[in-house]
Amino acid sequence: MTDTRITLVTGANQGVGLQLTKELVAHGHTVYLGSRDLARGEQAAAGIAAVENASGGSAIPIQIDVTDVDSISAAAARIRAEQGRLDMLVNNAGISKTVDRALGSPEYRAHSLASNASLDEIRAIWNVNVFGALAVYQAMLPLLRDGKDPRIVMVSSGVGSLATNADPNYAYHSIYGPGYAASKTAMNAMALTIMIELENTDIKVNIVSPAFTATALNGFAGTESIEDGSREVVRVALLGPDGPSGTFTQWENTAISW
């Protein structure tokens, strides 16, 4: 059995997940680079080959669609066969909408009011961000129980904070809607259920938010570079065995109210 840290990152073929994968590989991790489209995962993994050579880490593309139970089970079976364990799960895959074009803030707000948001779109978002993350947790838990210093990182968002959004002065108060933002609130609720289930085990659980980062999720409107915006996700994913559990942080290790 290898001593290298074995990690699975979902939605790792682009954006924050890819940046995290690069940095974990640079720290010597063996990272299963999850991608719903295997060819795109293979392309992403090929792009970080230079990092692998320097660090001894590696990126292994793996097909995983978090809305497809069969693909999740197949991924778990493959990791069991190849590694016998999983040390860290990063539930990163996420979507913000289903319409296939960028929406500016006013248009996004108009599109996602409680009174008019599409229930089909809300269900699709929740299927990935909430039920997908929970399904991957359920499938990977037996592997994590056999892992070393196991940790689960839930990549959520500050826009999911109920306490923050209830404040009329919060910058994104007016765009708190039932789709993406509420899905991240629900993801945090799922994370709490996981934390409570695991509180008497050695498996640690953290929730983390990237900064507002230029990725496909927001039509590249984010104000932070991929490297800077992913920094807190990387910091939490690199916490050692003495690192905390039960945290929800964003940007420079700042706690977020649930």
Ligand X SMILES: NC(=O)c1ccc[n+]([C@@H]2O[C@H](COP(=O)([O-])OP(=O)(O)OC[C@H]3O[C@@H](n4cnc5c(N)ncnc54)[C@H](OP(=O)(O)O)[C@@H]3O)[C@@H](O)[C@H]2O)c1
Helix (H) or strand (E) holding 32: strand 30-35
The position carrying tokens 């320097």 is 54
Helix 69-83, helix 133-145: angle, nearest 10: 20
DSSP string, 106-125: HHHHHHT-TTT--HHHHHHH
- Selected binder of ligand X within 6, 141, 217, 236 (CB under 6 A): 217
Distance CA 241, CA 48 (A): 27
| 24 exposure class (CB count in 10 Å sphere: 0-12, 13-18, 19+) | buried
- Selected binder of ligand X within 5, 7, 8, 10 (CB under 6 A): 10
Site for ligand X (CB under 6 A): how many residues? Answer: 29
Closest CB to ligand X among residues 99, 201: 99
Q: Letter for the amino acid at 37?
A: D
Closest CB to ligand X among residues 128, 182: 128
Closest CB to ligand X among residues 112, 213: 213
Evaluate whether 187 touches 247 at the Cβ level (below 8 Å).
Answer: no
Q: Which stretch, 10-18, 51-59, 143-151, 161-169, contacts ligand X (CB under 6 A)?
A: 10-18
Q: Pattern of binders to ligand X over 16-55, x per CB under 6 A?
A: xx------------------xx------------------
Residues with Cβ < 8 Å from 86, sequence gap 6 or more? Answer: 6, 7, 8, 79, 140, 143, 144, 146, 147, 150
Does the protein bind ligand X through residue 67 (CB under 6 A)?
Answer: yes
Closest CB to ligand X among residues 58, 250: 250
Cα–Cα distances (Å) from 84 to 6, 58, 77, 145, in that order, read: 10, 17, 9, 11
Does the protein bind ligand X through residue 8 (CB under 6 A)?
Answer: no
| Residue facing ligand X at closest CB distance | 15
- Selected binder of ligand X within 157, 164, 188, 206 (CB under 6 A): 157
- Selected binder of ligand X within 210, 232, 237, 256 (CB under 6 A): 210
Closest CB to ligand X among residues 161, 209: 209
Q: Which stretch, 8-16, 52-60, 194-202, 239-247, contacts ligand X (CB under 6 A)?
A: 8-16
Alpha helices (runs of H) in 67-152, residue ranges in sequence order: 69-83, 105-111, 119-126, 133-145
For ligand X, the binding residues (CB under 6 A) are 10-11, 13-17, 36-37, 65-67, 92-95, 128, 132, 155, 157, 209-210, 212-213, 215-218, 222
